[in-house]
Amino acid sequence: MKKRSRVEKKLRRRKMFFRFVLLIFIFSLLIMLAFKTTFFNINNIKVIGNKKMTYDNLVNASLIKSGENIFKVSTRTGEKALKNLPYIKEAKIRRKLPKTIIIEVDERKEIALIKNISTFLYIDIDGYVLQAKNNNEDKLPIIVGLNIDNLKPSDNIYSQIENKEIIDLITVSNSLKILPEIETIDMTDNNNINITLNNGISVAFGGIDNVKYKLSFLSKILKDIEEKEISCKMILMNKGENPIIITDN
């Protein structure tokens, strides 16, 4: 193998040096372009996935401002700030060069209201309080009789409920699609729970025991009533193993 001459080695080192200098120059030019000019200043902020939260509320909460350098914004800080909002379950912020920020959110969905003195606490399936109102303008199922104290948006009601069967009553009835058909659930007495459906049917649910089984049974009864067009006014599930259906006839 032919050895390189001193001149060749010198030329090779010189080429490497010039390449290194060129690389440094290009890198410095890119840094200047990125941070010292307006080329990468944000002029468009897109929000995806919001239904309950407004565009302005989400943009303000993200701490990102139009005109700011796109590389200077902290996407991690913005995502953390967004997830502090009661309605935001997940948040992702992405840069789309050269001037666009995309904010994508996954919102929590209201499934029921907890009546707390004169206030209605809106909750999602995970038990998080989303907001508090003085009325039920959204016509959601109302749960009364729970001993809930000093809860505010972003708090979790399940943290104050020791009996898991009570939580199951909410979550399982929702998964069985019974909850949206409910007007009120009265849990003042856990040994004598009463449910009123939107169609006027009253359900004497009985105690809080075996909730999953009883809700599954209730789901089948309601489907049977609908399919057979039974004129039902009351379902008794507190009179033994077999429920009793009381009709108008």
Query: What is the secondary structure of 233-245 as a DSSP string?
Result: EEEE-SSSSS-EE
Q: Are 104 and 95 in contact (CB under 8 A)?
A: no
Residue 32 within a domain: no
107: β partners: 88
Q: Are 104 and 75 in contact (CB under 8 A)?
A: no
The rounded mean pLDDT for the chain is 90
Structure tokens that stand for 80 in this block: 């953390």
> At 134, is the pLDDT very low, low, confident or very high (cuts 50, 70, 90)?
confident
Query: Residue 143: which H helix or E strand, with range?
Result: strand 142-144
Spacing of C-alpha 13 from chain mean position: 60
- Examine the domain organization and report whether 177 and 117 are in the same domain: yes
What pLDDT is attached to residue 15?
76
| Rounded-to-integer distance, Cα 173 and Cα 47, Å | 33
When divided into structural domains, the chain yields a total of 2
Give percent above pLDDT 70 in the chain: 92
pTM tops 0.85: no
Q: Are 243 and 217 in contact (CB under 8 A)?
A: yes
What pLDDT is attached to residue 203?
97
DSSP state at residue 158 = G
What pLDDT is attached to residue 60?
97
DSSP state at residue 41 = B
What CATH number is attached to the domain comprising 48? 3.10.20.310
* Segments forming the whole domain that contains residue 218: 112-247
Q: Among 91, 107, 123, identify where a domain stops.
A: 107
**180 has pLDDT over 80:** yes
